[in-house]
Copies of this chain bind each other. A is one copy, B any other.
């Protein structure tokens, strides 16, 4: 049995942000999300997330996920954090393991965690991950004997000059038998920071003859710990590139790597074209369609053969053969069926549109049902809100809504009806009827001449 423990209480001073460090996003997900993902499916036990003052922001974001939050009320170091986690365990076996991970290592791969978990079969008391890194500064160096067996970790402050040159370091991911955790009580904090360090546990365990193993990994990017905004940017680029490579390999055409952002939960069909400056985030699913340029799709499903340009689509479902944009905004709970045109400067909210309909220009449809073969003219606006309540508008099949019409909800335009351009529609329009509500035109001959001369006169005064 393995219990994941994620250390997230660190303040992250070098981020220079009031925001909790592990909640900084890599693509559309906080770093902690990426760490949690690294053992999803591998370990069933509820992860223990050790938090500090930042608990609320974290638990709010992950609401709905099974997480055991343990609060480390004072920042007394990683060993103290682990002790908090240990104390919170209600029932466990001494032969169970803690998988200890930092919350700021978003690029760690599932494969790596899988391999580390397998190490529990070797029955080490502690196994930890090492990696050769270009710049070992700040890390504990791994000392090995001439047969390459692990001897011990030497912390930077204690290292001799030749030891400082060692590139293999302790990256901070451990698999620890729970039996050992009571040793945490014996760790001291007589150091400059007055903190309890988890690395001291290793030293103690080693002295006491426990069996300690290492697992070396070879891609140093994986264990990039994010401590500054620059680190975060590096993690971002790396995560982004990895995801894009997968989509390219799947037959998605991506026109520009630099200006394409695809989140880790997005699915894209082969044959899709992702044009420059596209952001696709959340649980989006894209069929064999063209997205972009300059589009943003979030938590939405888009079918095949669609075009989405210069538009924003969120929390909505788009069918097949739908043309959207430029400059459209499709908001929450909108469903657009097949063979539909959503034109420029159009906003849809909680609206369903059935096949072969058009909303081509400068319109706002909110809380509306639109049937099939409907033409919604330019400048049509639903008044779904009276200052107190929201009401629905229903537009049945084969309706023609003239331009610049105002539909004051609740209202229904029945099958085959028409609305004359510029009408304010406050009552239902029956089947095949024309609803008209506008004043008649009058031409005032010569009026403009007088108006102009009056204005000109005023200017002269």
Residues of A within 8 A of B (CB): 15-19, 24-25, 228-230, 232-233, 236, 245, 248-259, 261, 270-271, 276-277, 279, 288, 293-294, 296, 309-310, 312, 326-327, 329, 343-345, 347, 361-364, 375, 377-379, 381-383, 385-389, 400, 402-404, 406, 408, 416-418, 421-427, 429-430, 432-449, 451, 455, 459
A257-B402 Cα distance, complex, nearest whole Å: 45
Asked whether, in the complex, the Cβ of B434 is within 8 Å of the Cβ of A448, the reply is yes
Minimum CB–CB distance for A427 against chain B, Å: 6
Given that A259-B258, A416-B448 are contacting pairs, would A421 and B441 also be in contact in the complex, using a CB cutoff of 8 Å?
no
Asked whether, in the complex, the Cβ of A443 is within 8 Å of the Cβ of B427, the reply is yes
Partner of A270, one of B16, B232, B279: B16
Asked whether, in the complex, the Cβ of B253 is within 8 Å of the Cβ of A230, the reply is no
- Closest residue of chain B to A347 (Cβ to Cβ) is B344
Asked whether, in the complex, the Cβ of A230 is within 8 Å of the Cβ of B248, the reply is yes
Partner of A362, one of B261, B364, B403, B449: B364
Minimum CB–CB distance for A429 against chain B, Å: 6
Q: Which residues of B contact A416 (CB under 8 A)?
A: 448-449
Asked whether, in the complex, the Cβ of A433 is within 8 Å of the Cβ of B417, the reply is no
Asked whether, in the complex, the Cβ of B441 is within 8 Å of the Cβ of A426, the reply is yes
Q: Which residues of B contact A437 (CB under 8 A)?
A: 438-442
Minimum CB–CB distance for A207 against chain B, Å: 41
- Closest residue of chain B to A15 (Cβ to Cβ) is B251
User: Can you sample 9 A-B contacts with CB below 8 Å?
Assistant: A17-B271, A230-B249, A361-B381, A377-B385, A406-B421, A417-B448, A427-B441, A432-B449, A435-B444
Q: Which residues of B contact A377 (CB under 8 A)?
A: 381, 383, 385
Minimum CB–CB distance for A363 against chain B, Å: 8
Partner of A383, one of B386, B403, B426: B403
Partner of A18, one of B288, B362, B404: B288
A19-B270 Cα distance, complex, nearest whole Å: 10
Asked whether, in the complex, the Cβ of B451 is within 8 Å of the Cβ of A434, the reply is yes
Q: Which residues of B contact A253 (CB under 8 A)?
A: 17, 24-25, 229, 232
Minimum CB–CB distance for A268 against chain B, Å: 12
Partner of A433, one of B258, B400, B443, B459: B443
Partner of A448, one of B255, B309, B403, B418: B418
A443-B426 Cα distance, complex, nearest whole Å: 11
A327-B361 Cα distance, complex, nearest whole Å: 13
Asked whether, in the complex, the Cβ of A259 is within 8 Å of the Cβ of B277, the reply is yes
